[in-house]
Copies of this chain bind each other. A is one copy, B any other.
Amino acid sequence: MLGAVIGLVFAFILIALVMRASAGNERMRQISGAVQEGAKAYLNRQVITISAIAVVIFLLLFFFKDHPTAIGFVIGAFCSLSAGYIGMRIAVIANVRTTQAATHSLLSALRIAFNGGAVTGLLVVGLALLAVSIFYTIASNMVGHDLAIRSLVGLALGASLISVFARLGGGIYTKASDVGADLVGKIEKGLEEDDPRNPATIADNVGDNVGDCAGMAADVFETYAVSLIGAILVGALTLASEPAAIIYPFVLGGISVLGAICGVLFVNFARGKPASVLMGAVGTSALISAILFWPATHRLFPNGITIGGLARTPTQLYCASVIGLIMTAVVVVITNYYTSMRYRPVQKIAYASETGHATNIIAGLAVGQHATALPVGFIGIAILLSFHFAGLYGIAIAVMSMLSMAGIIISLDSFGPITDNAGGVAVMSNLPKEVRSVTDQLDAVGNTMKAVTKGYAIASAGLAALVLFGSYVEELKAHVTRNGEPFAFQFSLTEPKVIIGLFLGGLLPFIFTAFSMDAVGKAAGAVVREVRRQLQAKPGILTGQDTPEYGTCVDIVTKAALREMIVPALLPLVFVVAVATIKPLGPVVLGGLLVGTIVTGLFVAIAMTSGGGAWDNAKKFIEEGNLGGKGSFAHQAAVTGDTVGDPYKDTAGPAINPMIKVVNIVAILIIPIFF
């Protein structure tokens, strides 16, 4: 709790710092205001839609499960929504100030944008730590330790479910408006990005805030809270006699807040290339955490702990926690390689664009698939090692320590949409070209950072989901009896039901992303038609004599996003309940399903987010003047690739992350109801 409070205080200092910066001239504030208004309007409507569904689930939990779980659900949902709001509010404050700072220097723009991101990072992490710890403390006192632990699963469900909605709704919004704006504006009419003559341009900028900022903040809140809860659950289910096992995850989280603060300070004082400064911040943060974990672990487990019948030394637990930090670094480096324009994969896509749209797409798809190999390999190593050090609890600790880096990592992620928007404000306010060039440089770094943090999010989600699967098995063991005796289900690969479960689970990420991409396609089509209609009705828009009606595009995409998010978001929930209740299936098939979803989900998500990031930067690589530069044949092909990559990397791919956890959490929750 102390760590969380320190983080929150530091975040407020940063807010003051950002607010103090100049918000630019009248025109800039006007545009930023329009974006802010659109974003707020969308989030408000999203809250109403989601609340309707949340109320139904709350009532189900209230009447069919227990009250603490239902209340936990409400708290998780509320915090997840708040995290989204925070992310959006900070971003719209920071973006216009970044534009203004960009009129002075690259470094000051970098710092404003990063500090804006850091506020979100610290607030979200602080919120998650506080919410879980306060809820746990109060619930333990009121309903006892056991039920308190179990009702944390409700909190996890609230966080995850809202996060799926926020990721999908925001993702559909941002990409539908982006794709729609690009297809007519850039490709048909030859307008620049963010040209104020494009009727969809405000919607596009609103999208960056509701998707990349709000959606991402909700998502990371969820990942953080669920990993923490997963670690507590495993600690409680397998090490019931060791209270320190439950406290340890909280301690790791609290310490890393200090690490994150050091990382933020690093950015504000270091000089150098943007990418190097940001990477340096991650390194600093990880190093500080690694150093502080050592005394904390030894203090908490002075005599070690017995796990799975073996005595484990505090050093072994420490090793498990360091694995999480190393994994963060490894995933960041690998994803950076596949998505930064300085390396071969992105350049390969750029060169493939010279022979046309199709070869660009083929190359991008291949890069995305290649990008799965190393992360998955390292995840395997991390599982092997952390299990070796401390069994399933070791994996849970590694995940928690990986997630404890979230504070600094979200700072990087938020940085992307803030600079993207800053560029939009610059163009729409007719600021000199040099300003746009500064924000463009930051934007390219932001693209890579976004891809990197998505790689991090999905890798940690995969591990967190495995921990949840472990909890599912333990919970099942604790709950199910046959003839009065406790009964342990076997999940052997030689059992056809397990294989069927793997197939059904493996299917989920495929159709989930298929629905998400369809949703973006449909919503983007509506935007395209509206933009074409406006340009036809008022030919003066293109010559600058008429003002486009930005509001109608915002309205269309708002409605479309809210409508289209429902089916994919409810899909995993329905799937799990169906498998649990349809007769020849049941708990064993469900176990297979959980693992199957994790396995294919990991691959699909990494392939989509890395591939999408690589496409985006391949376009940027050409726009920097390579291979003919802007307007060349290669550039057109690269724009196609970028547009395909948009729903990949910002809608479907990242939404898999909360989705695989929803599946696991729902499975844990329904054990006492159906089995």
A residues bordering B, Cβ < 8 Å?
179, 183, 187, 352, 355-359, 361-363, 365-367, 369-370, 372-373, 376-377, 379-380, 383-384, 387, 395, 466, 469-470, 473, 490-494, 496-500, 502-504, 506-507, 510-511, 513-515, 517-518, 520-521, 524-525, 528, 584, 591-592, 595-596, 599-600, 602-603, 607, 639-641, 643-644, 647
A159 to B596, CA, bound (A): 30
The residue of chain B having its C-beta at the shortest distance from the C-beta of A385 within the complex is B584
Neighbouring B residues of A473 by C-beta, 8 Å: 493-494
Whether A358 contacts B640 in the complex (CB less than 8 A), given A376-B503, A503-B380, A511-B372, comes out as yes
15 A-B pairs within 8 Å (CB atoms) are namely A179-B358, A355-B524, A359-B525, A361-B361, A362-B644, A365-B644, A376-B503, A376-B507, A384-B496, A470-B494, A473-B493, A491-B494, A493-B498, A503-B599, A596-B599
Q: A373-B507, A500-B380 are in contact. Are A361 and B644 (CB under 8 A)?
A: yes
User: Shortest CB–CB separation between residue A572 and chain B, in angstroms?
Assistant: 14
Q: Which residues on B sit within 8 Å (CB–CB) of A366?
A: 513-515, 517-518, 521
Copies of this polypeptide in the complex? 2
| Given A370-B514, A592-B493; A359-B503 close (CB under 8 Å) | no
Complex contacts, A514 vs chain B, CB 8 Å? 365-367, 369-370
Given contact pairs A357-B357, A584-B384, A517 touches B362 in the complex (Cβ within 8 A): yes
Chain B hits for A511, CB < 8 A: 369-370, 372-373
A376-B506, A504-B380 given; A356·B525 CB < 8 A: no
Please, which residues of chain B bring their CB within 8 A of the CB of A498? 493
| Contacting residues, chain B, for A607 (C-beta < 8 A) | 510
Name the 7 nearest CB pairs between A and B, nearest first.
A358-B643, A369-B514, A491-B493, A380-B500, A366-B517, A357-B640, A387-B496
Whether A183 touches B500, Cβ cut-off 8 Å, given contacts A363-B521, A369-B511, A510-B373, is no
Beyond A187-B356, A352-B521, whether A362 also contacts B647 by CB under 8 A is: yes
Residue of B nearest to A175 (CB): B362
CA distance A518 to B367 in the complex (A): 9
Do the beta carbons of B384 and A500 come within 8 Å of each other? yes
CA distance A515 to B490 in the complex (A): 37
The closest CB in chain B to the CB of A594 belongs to B493
Report the minimum CB–CB distance from A396 to chain B (whole Å).
12
Q: Once bound together, how far apart are the Cα atoms of A643 and B492, in whole Å?
A: 42
Q: Which residues of B contact A492 (CB under 8 A)?
A: 490-493
Min CB gap A648→B, angstroms: 8
CB pair B599–A520 under 8 Å, yes or no, is no
Q: List the B side residues contacting A179 at CB < 8 Å.
A: 358-359
A362 touching B520 by the CB < 8 A rule?
yes
**Min CB distance, A491 to chain B, in Å?**
4
Residues of B within 8 A of A528 (CB): 355
Please give the distance in Å from A16's CB to the nearest CB on chain B: 43
CB nearest to A490 among chain B residues: B492
Of the candidates B183, B356, B603, the one whose C-beta lies within 8 Å of that of A507 is B603
Taking CB atoms, residues of chain B closer than 8 Å to A513 are 366, 369
Chain B residues near A524 (CB, 8 Å)?
A: 355, 359
Residue ID in chain B nearest A639 by CB atoms: B358
Having A362-B647, A366-B517, one finds 19 other A-B pairs with CB under 8 Å, namely A187-B356, A355-B525, A355-B528, A356-B643, A358-B644, A359-B643, A362-B520, A362-B521, A365-B644, A369-B517, A372-B507, A466-B499, A469-B493, A491-B493, A493-B493, A493-B498, A493-B592, A510-B603, A600-B603
Of listed A359, A595, A647, residue having the most chain B CB within 10 A: A359
| CB-defined contacts of A503 to chain B, threshold 8 Å | 376, 379-380, 599, 602
Complex CA gap A376/B596 in Å reads 13
Q: In this complex, which of A369, A502, A591 has the most chain B Cβ atoms within 10 angstroms of its Cβ? A: A369
- A510 partner, pick from B372, B491, B591, beta carbons under 8 A: B372
Decide yes or no: A355 and B183 within 8 Å by CB, A376-B503, A496-B384, A504-B376 being known contacts.
yes
Smallest CB–CB gap between A568 and chain B, Å? 11
Instruction: Give the docked Cα–Cα distance between A180 and B182 (Å).
Output: 29
Inter-chain CA distance A46–B355, complex, in Å, is: 28
* Complex alpha-carbon distance, A383 and B502, angstroms: 12
Across the interface, which residues of B come within 8 angstroms of A373, CB to CB?
507, 510-511
**A502 proximity list for chain B (CB < 8 A):** 502, 595, 599
Name the residue among A504, A510, A641 with the largest chain B CB count within 10 angstroms.
A510
Q: Smallest CB–CB gap between A532 and chain B, Å?
A: 10
Does A383 lie within 8 Å of B496, measured CB to CB?
yes
- Enumerate chain B residues within 8 angstroms of A383, measured Cβ to Cβ: 496, 499-500
Who on chain B is nearest to A498 by CB? B493
* Chain B positions within 8 Å of A380 at CB level: 500, 503-504
Contacts of A369 in B (CB 8 A): 510-511, 513-514, 517
* Chain B residue nearest in CB terms to A595: B493
- What B residues does A359 contact at CB under 8 A? 179, 183, 521, 524-525, 643
* Complex Cα–Cα for A363 and B595 (A): 28
Q: How far is the CB of A17 from chain B (nearest CB, A)?
A: 40
Min CB distance A497 to B, Å, is 8
Closest B residue, CB atoms, query A474:
B494
Nearest-CB residue, chain B, relative to A352: B521
Q: Which residues of B contact A647 (CB under 8 A)?
A: 362
Residues of B contacting A466 in the complex (Cβ-Cβ under 8 angstroms): 499
Given A517-B365, A595-B499, A600-B525 contact (CB < 8 Å): no
| Among candidates B362, B376, B600, residue contacting A599 with C-beta atoms closer than 8 Å | B600
